Amino acid sequence: MRVRVNAGLVAGAVLVGLVVLAALVSFVWTPHDPTLVDAAGKLRDPGDGYLLGADKFGRDTLSQLMVGARTTLYVGIVAVGIAALLGTPLGVIAGMTPYGWLSELVMRVNDLVFAFPALLLAVMLGAVYGAGTLTAMIAIGVATVPAFARVARAATLQVMVTDYILAARAAGRRGTAIAFRHVLPNIGSMLIVQASVSFAIAILAEAALSFLGFGTRPPTPSWGRMLQESQELLFSTPRLALWPGLAIALAVLGFNLLGDGLRDHLDPKLRRIRAER
Amino acid sequence: MILYLVKRLAVLVVSTAVAGVVVFGFMALLPGDPAEIALGVNATPEALEELRRQFGTDRPAAAQFADWFGGLAQGDFGTSYVTSSPIGPQVADRLGVTVTLVLGGMVIALLIAVPLGVFAAVHHRDPLGAAISAASQIGIAIPAFLAGILLVFVFAVQAQALPSGGYVPFAESPGEWLRGLLLPWLSLGLVQGAVLTRYVRSAVLDVMREDYLRTARAKGRGRMGALWRHGLRNASVPVVTVLGLQLATLLIGAVVVERVFVIPGLGDLLLNGVAGRDLLLVQGVVMVLVVAVLLINFVVDVAYAALDPRLRGAR
């Protein structure tokens, strides 16, 4: 049973590792300049130094995919960072004072933000400040805050009824000290799992936004925009849609598997339940 | 239950009002004066003044908000600064198309998820059950618009059986309407079906371990019989919650899928509004979508309480 649990975790780690590797390598090397327009090499077939061929502007698909991985990770890291930095304290506060007005307020605001999906926020932000990677990251990050707040609150509620919190309170520790010394370390694993799952959702959101023209601006390569540009050529050159599509799906699959695997790995109780299944 | 309903309704009304303030406040930040945009750079100050009075943008923000929000409550979305046509009828027209898209996607998702999820739970130790789980994991990783592009490739490019895009109103030709919507429905439904399959599976698995189900089996009911009579209502509680959340996701997914298939729904209207800097139109469409999400959450909470009486006191 342990073998199967780890298989998901390993598969997820490998897929995520591949994306990270592609992004890192793209800083120092890509087969060609990903933004170089080459009229002569328009829609070039795979081969001849162009492993995956070229798009309608003659830009190398593989190079674009590699730099696109960078965009994907960049958006994911910033968006999940925003969500974690805002959502975790809100959730911990709500969880530590479950019957207070503050907790009620936090959860109500949470519900409200929940009604503004990333796409709508990004469109609104894009309308006001102009669409781009930054507005996309902020929109996805803010839209993900409720997910973090909910998980942090639920985990904090569980921690707050344990004996060591009672002991800390009896010893006269103040709320902030309890939050930093006892609550945060104990809900950390849940937050890591949430971060991985949120990362997958952020990748999907960024791809959709770039597809609609509300994400990364040209000429910076992005998987979502590669897909959008490939759509009109679906009848003649379908491979242009294949590669960015595959990249998005594998990256999302990787982060999802990583999140599931980490959850099983970090929570022995869950592991046993899974084993029974 | 009545008290719960009243409390939850109050929360819905307050949330809608606050959402209105947020949307309006956000759009008020938009640089540029609608009158200047409409008349261009060569307009005289008098003409600008006149148009501002016409639009009502010369009044304080609070008065503008009260007007807009009060109008919304009566279905009046105002008149576009750009096209000078009333926004309400456009939104109503497009809303119908988007709702058709979402509901069709949901039906397909349920048709996939319920049988597959129950099957995967009942046969969770068989290779086929495991294969369904793995397939659903892959389905979750594919965004709806990518599924759309793949479906177009298979059914429009390769098989040439269905149109790659476009929309024919039902009144014009029911057959063409259906042909045009099949691929968009599938794009939304397949992906949501994958998500939902996992929840149905795990809900049914949880129920299968309950004592009452063991009792039912001990009394001589078959596995499916016991599950049918005693299990499914209990398994439906978590599934209904997810269904509601998925409905909201589908609504937003529809915005993107409309772009893939060139379908004149709310998403198309919204994106055109942004491109044309039609402030009031964008404001109206965003508000409709936000209210739809709030309403869905309300219905889910109430359905949740109706299915499981223990939850009524929880909030």
Residues 6+ apart with CB under 8 A from B33: B48, B52, B57
Span B91-313 CATH architecture: Orthogonal Bundle (1.10)
Residues 6+ apart with CB under 8 A from A203: A72, A75, A76, A248, A251, A252, A255
Give the dihedral sign, CA B251/B256/B259/B260: negative
CB atoms within 10 A of CB A102: 12
Query: Can you tell me whether residue B239 is helix, strand or coil?
Result: helix
Task: Give the chain A residue nearest B124 (alpha carbons).
Answer: A277
Q: How far is B141 from chain A (nearest CA, A)?
A: 5
pLDDT over 70 percentage in chain A:
94
Q: Cα(B239)–Cα(B165) distance, rounded to whole angstroms?
A: 32
Interface of A with B in 39-78 (CB under 8 A): none
Residues 6+ apart with CB under 8 A from B271: A123, A212, A213, B255, B259
pLDDT reading at A101 higher than 70: yes
pLDDT reading at B179 higher than 50: yes
pLDDT value at residue A252 = 94
pLDDT value at residue A276 = 43
Q: Is A246 on the interface with B (CB under 8 A)?
A: no
Q: Which helix (H) or strand (E) element contains residue A119?
A: helix A118-129
Nearest residue to B283 via CA among B18, B23, B38: B23
Q: ipTM beyond 0.90?
A: no
Beta bridge partners of A50: A47
Residues 6+ apart with CB under 8 A from B67: B56
**Mean pLDDT, to the nearest integer, of A105-130?**
84
Beta bridge partners of A255: none
Task: Judge: A248–B143 Cβ closer than 8 Å, yes or no.
Answer: yes
Q: Cα(B200)–Cα(B237) distance, rounded to whole angstroms?
A: 10
- Please give the DSSP secondary-structure letter assigned to residue A58: -
Confidence tier at A65 by pLDDT (50, 70, 90): very high
In tens, the pLDDT along A201-244 reads 999 999 999 898 888 888 888 999 898 888 888 888 888 889 99
Q: How far is B54 from chain A (nearest CA, A)?
A: 23
In tens, the pLDDT along B105-157 reads 999 999 999 899 888 888 888 888 888 888 888 888 998 889 999 999 899 88
Task: Judge: A249–B138 Cβ closer than 8 Å, yes or no.
Answer: yes
pLDDT reading at A246 higher than 60: yes
Nearest residue to B148 via CA among A124, A214, A208, A40: A208
* Single pTM value for the model: 0.87
Task: Judge: B145–A211 Cβ closer than 8 Å, yes or no.
Answer: yes
Q: Is B123 on the interface with A (CB under 8 A)?
A: no
Q: How far is CA B270 from the centre of its chain?
A: 14
Q: Cα(B251)–Cα(B185) distance, rounded to whole angstroms?
A: 12
Query: Domain residues of chain B, as ranges?
Result: 2-73, 91-313
Q: Let me know: does B183 contact B177? Beta carbons within 8 Å.
A: no
Confidence tier at A24 by pLDDT (50, 70, 90): very high
Query: Can you tell me whether residue A210 is helix, strand or coil?
Result: helix
pLDDT value at residue B312 = 61
